[in-house]
Homo-oligomer: A and B are copies of this chain.
């Protein structure tokens, strides 16, 4: 874990390319200057390094600057479950606000960097900047919605459907960040995907092979191309937001 206290301009929220996906959405430049003073430090993580561990006292929440992290819960008997994957612009550590201690472990899946948002100071600032407060509430709420969709997946979908909706969810989040939405690298192992989806690694592997056979995707190791998005959406049981539902013109 490598801390940076940086006055280098590229680290400021005001000029960060992630601005629109992170906290400062819709905030005036004068107010962003205040945020700049709040978020001065970053943490650099190598693959496999922990950002925080279950039980650690919360002093900050974190925004992913680049890279990917996972959060996971552990059971007493050693079983563990991946709860979420976190892409650039997403906030980590929110589960620690409830009682002042993180509930999960956060681990980098690749070389990553996160901005440190000292929580006490942030709450004060949010009080002064209504837009920031609103945005923070939206982020917390979306986090909730994301987890609840995940619950729907684990509770109601079969392995195949879970995997399809996982790939599409990733695709959507990457697209929102300006990456290709139909071709990308999976930063997580099959084990981690399986854990996240509540299925075994062998099942993940089989389902991916099956998808490839039926022409839904192409996969080579961790590099994946989504070929038939509509097919995947149908499998996942969710509507395809990109597809223009054909409405027949009236009177033609």
The answer on a CB contact under 8 Å between A141 and B75 is no
Name A residues whose Cβ lies closer than 8 Å to a Cβ of B: 73, 75-77, 79-81, 83, 94-99, 103-104, 123, 126-127, 130, 133-134, 137-138, 140-145, 147-152, 154-156, 195-198, 237-239
Q: How far, in angstroms, from A143 to B79 measured CA to CA in the complex?
A: 23
Of the residues B142, B143, B151, contact of A154 by C-beta under 8 Å: B151
Beyond A123-B134, A155-B197, whether A98 also contacts B141 by CB under 8 A is yes
The answer on a CB contact under 8 Å between B141 and A94 is yes
List B contacts of A134 (CB < 8 A).
123
The answer on a CB contact under 8 Å between A141 and B198 is no
The answer on a CB contact under 8 Å between B130 and A140 is no
- Closest B-chain residue to A138, C-beta based? B98
The answer on a CB contact under 8 Å between A145 and B237 is no
- Closest B-chain residue to A199, C-beta based? B155
Closest 5 CB pairs of A and B: A155-B198, A97-B141, A154-B154, A98-B141, A98-B142
List B contacts of A96 (CB < 8 A).
141
Of the residues B99, B141, B142, B150, contact of A151 by C-beta under 8 Å: B150
Q: How far, in angstroms, from A137 to B148 measured CA to CA in the complex?
A: 18
Residue with the greatest number of chain B CB neighbours at <10 A, chosen from A77, A98, A126 = A98
The answer on a CB contact under 8 Å between B154 and A198 is yes
- CB of A99, distance to nearest CB on chain B (Å): 8
Beyond A127-B133, A156-B198, whether A97 also contacts B148 by CB under 8 A is no
The answer on a CB contact under 8 Å between A81 and B152 is yes
- CB of A7, distance to nearest CB on chain B (Å): 30
Q: How far, in angstroms, from A234 to B228 measured CA to CA in the complex?
A: 46
Of the residues B83, B98, B138, B155, contact of A152 by C-beta under 8 Å: B83
